[in-house]
Amino acid sequence: MGVLNLAVRDGVLLMTIDHPPVNALSRTVRAGLMEALARLAGDALLRGGVLLGADNIFVGGADIREFGKPASAPTLPEVLAVLEACPKPVVAGLNGAALGGGLELALACDARIALPSAVVGLPEVTLGIIPGAGGTQRLPRLTGLAAAIRLIGTGAKLKADEALRQGILDDIAPDDLPGAAIAWLHGPASAKRPVSARTVPADAPSAVEAAAQAAVKTGKGRPAVRAAIAAVKEAAEVPFAEALQHERHAFETLRASPEAAALRHIFFAEREAVRLPESLRQKPRQLETIAVIGAGTMGAGIALSVLEAGFWLILLDQNAALLAAAGAGLLRQLDERAQAGKISFSSAERARERLILANGWQEIDSADLIIEAVYEDLSVKQEVFRQLDAYAKPHAVLATNTSYLDIDQIAAATSRPRDVLGLHFFSPAHVMKLLEVVQGAQTTPDVLSAGMELGKRLQKLPVMCENRFGFIGNRIYNAYRTHCEFMLEDGAWPEQVDEALEAFGFAMGPFAVMDMSGLDIAWRMRKSRAAGRDPRARHVPVLEALCEQDRFGRKSNIGYYSYDGGKRAKETDQTVRAIIAAASEKRGIRRRDLSPEEIQRRALMTMANEAALLLAEGVAQRASDIDVVLVNGYGFPRWMGGPVHWARGQGRAKLEEGFDIIGEAMGFGFRRGDVDLLL
């Protein structure tokens, strides 16, 4: 069996692409398609052809693994030109996802019939490229420019019914897809009718512009998004063949860009991260019923995720009023999400039936996995774990959602530390994809596997890490934020640091983030750690001084910045500047200007250095896991690939020099990472 299985049924050639895992259009598949099309064209007994995908996917796109090198013949545009010119009609039978080159293949056919479960999309911009095999030219000929820009410019996916409504599909077959495609080929509409020969339906220019602006906004103005919009617009302005060449040229240029390489890196890193290292892989413990302890914001967010994934959920809180409010909130959110089409009405209904509100510990005895999400305080959490130990059934997995505390100290409150692990969710828990799965000193592999499995079933990105202060994400972010505070003392104002890092691509600068999360929280943590701090270590006391003046951030309308009706002031006010200047003076620093480039370099070098330390300590399993964490949980720009990917791009000499600079700025207590671990 090759990558293309051929069979003849009722005078029709069935061509099934069978190239696991996603039937990507690798060179061997493209060559197979060329041969099959030649047979179809040359066999007088064949009336037409049907393209299908094996298993439950049509085609997941061009083979992204081939993108690092120049395209080899036959290229996808060459295959599609032959397909479109084939004298016999060909129907695409979409038995599952048709994405990127997969949808382009279908668009070069004479008709598209799909199973109801199929999805279509051109997600190329998410990889820093544009469709390179006619997608930007054929799709608008079916949908009009505005809809094509919406789809291609954002990389969104459409379900089959919506794709039918937009004219991308010709029909939906409820079950026998090959049968429906064969029937089409024997029916009255079976003549060749290439999409490229059609004219683009007229759209109001204002609708086209609105779609373009929305796509630029969603795509943060990245070059691929702008190029995609420009290419789609050409469909209405430039002859097909010429526009196709422009599209291919833009595709090739973008494909070779550092941004596309970074996005490919993170695409594969995310798929790698969810796998445990071989030595730890084990059949996970079975998970059917999940309990969440604590009905606060975090607990309720986790509960929503768990319910939507189809588990039974026991939500426990001893505060009856809070529990009732959280329960009502969950029902309302399930309803709203079904109304908004985010989940089906039937799964919302099933989730409602699976929600159990509990206020007594004995009610958790049926749970296979219990997630504690109570107040971040060691003794409070230990008390919860004593109760879990008393009431959870044997072999239940016991998880803590702590972000900073020591998992082993929490596990020590139980008689079963082997069953305990950390599951660090990010807020809002039903939205954020990242999940740090933390292995304690005694956590067994099947418990760890259960944590990873839960993450996957919640459609999150579970990343394994070892139990060390801050795990992966907070450890790096802390180092970064601390260094940003050094830069304040050295001469930068908060807005200069924030603007430089936002210009690099961070969703928000560190001081804007601090104001948002509340300075009092950081203040409390600093006070609790102050006793352990060596007086020789550099410490910038600005946050403490702000808090002493009741400047707690957004919640008090004033922090590093002042806020007017929620709007952040462009600059920090004189009080903050005076506090910062006083700190500089106290340390004997003559303030100087820091350029945006210097700010970016120092902040990123700090991240890279901490990443190297995490790798040396074995806290992170793989360098790419660190990138996955920072991109998905900390607003690191995806198109930069993550701090390790960034560091690799710098090369050894610049990294060594950068580590010298940040080491000098920190002084006492600086630990230098091993550059080799990053390269």
Token pair listed for 337: 């999400």
Q: Please report how close the Cβ of residue 57 comes to ligand 3HC at its closest, in angstroms.
A: 6
C-beta closer to ligand 3HC: residue 609 or 624 = 624
Q: Please report how close the Cβ of residue 269 comes to ligand 3HC at its closest, in angstroms.
A: 10
The DSSP code for 155 is T
The Cα–Cα gap between 85 and 296 comes to 61
C-beta closer to ligand 3HC: residue 135 or 635 = 135
Spatial CA neighbour of 620 closest among 660, 659, 673: 673
The Cα–Cα gap between 12 and 16 comes to 13
> Which of 66, 84, 104, 209 does the annotation list as catalytic?
104
Token pair listed for 578: 């005076």
| 436 in Cβ contact with 271 (< 8 Å) | no
* Nearest-CB residue for ligand 3HC: 100
Q: Please report how close the Cβ of residue 163 comes to ligand 3HC at its closest, in angstroms.
A: 15
Q: Please state, as a whole number, how many other Cβ atoms lie within 10 Å of the Cβ of residue 606.
A: 28
| 101 in Cβ contact with 133 (< 8 Å) | yes
Residue pointed to by tokens 């993108």: 67
Residues that bind ligand 3HC (CB under 6 A): 21-22, 24, 60-65, 76, 97, 99-101, 104, 123-124, 127, 131-133, 135, 268, 271
| 458 in Cβ contact with 309 (< 8 Å) | yes
C-beta closer to ligand 3HC: residue 29 or 313 = 29
Contacts of 339 (CB under 8 A, 6+ apart): none
Q: Please report how close the Cβ of residue 255 comes to ligand 3HC at its closest, in angstroms.
A: 8
**For the chain, give me the number of helices (H) and strands (E)?**
27, 20
> Which of 66, 78, 84, 124 does the annotation list as catalytic?
124
C-beta closer to ligand 3HC: residue 156 or 589 = 156
- Please write down the long-range contacts of 586-595, taking CB distance under 8 Å and 24 or more positions apart: 587/489, 587/538, 589/489, 589/490, 589/491, 591/490, 591/491, 592/490, 592/491, 593/491, 593/492, 594/487, 594/490, 594/491, 594/492, 594/496
The Cα–Cα gap between 390 and 385 comes to 8
C-beta closer to ligand 3HC: residue 136 or 609 = 136
Helix (H) or strand (E) run with residue 12 in it: strand 12-17
Extended strands (E) in 83-134? 90-94, 97-99, 111-114, 119-121
Task: Name the pairing type of β-strands 111-114 and 48-53.
Answer: unpaired
Extended strands (E) in 218-343? 289-293, 312-316
Q: State yes or no: is 372 an active-site residue.
A: no
Token pair listed for 664: 């000098």
Contacts of 372 (CB under 8 A, 6+ apart): 293, 294, 381, 384, 385, 388, 398, 399, 400, 401
Q: Please report how close the Cβ of residue 503 comes to ligand 3HC at its closest, in angstroms.
A: 28
C-beta closer to ligand 3HC: residue 24 or 146 = 24
Q: Please report how close the Cβ of residue 632 comes to ligand 3HC at its closest, in angstroms.
A: 15
Helix (H) or strand (E) run with residue 8 in it: strand 4-9
C-beta closer to ligand 3HC: residue 48 or 60 = 60
C-beta closer to ligand 3HC: residue 264 or 602 = 264
Residue pointed to by tokens 């919406």: 150
Q: State yes or no: is 104 an active-site residue.
A: yes
Q: Please report how close the Cβ of residue 121 comes to ligand 3HC at its closest, in angstroms.
A: 8
C-beta closer to ligand 3HC: residue 253 or 482 = 253
Spatial CA neighbour of 296 closest among 371, 220, 394: 371
C-beta closer to ligand 3HC: residue 127 or 583 = 127
C-beta closer to ligand 3HC: residue 263 or 291 = 263
Q: Please report how close the Cβ of residue 108 comes to ligand 3HC at its closest, in angstroms.
A: 12
Contacts of 563 (CB under 8 A, 6+ apart): 515, 554, 557, 569
Q: Please report how close the Cβ of residue 18 comes to ligand 3HC at its closest, in angstroms.
A: 14
Can you give the three-state secondary structure of 199-236, one letter per residue?
Answer: CCCCCCHHHHHHHHHHHHHHCCCCHHHHHHHHHHHHCC
Q: Please report how close the Cβ of residue 197 comes to ligand 3HC at its closest, in angstroms.
A: 21
| 425 in Cβ contact with 401 (< 8 Å) | yes
Q: Please report how close the Cβ of residue 77 comes to ligand 3HC at its closest, in angstroms.
A: 8
Through-space distance between the first and last CA atoms of the chain, rounded to whole angstroms: 41
Residue 285 three-state SS? coil
Spatial CA neighbour of 423 closest among 471, 469, 378: 471
Contacts of 478 (CB under 8 A, 6+ apart): 470
What is the CA angle 333-157-220, rounded to 5?
85
C-beta closer to ligand 3HC: residue 107 or 522 = 107
Positions marked active-site = 104, 124
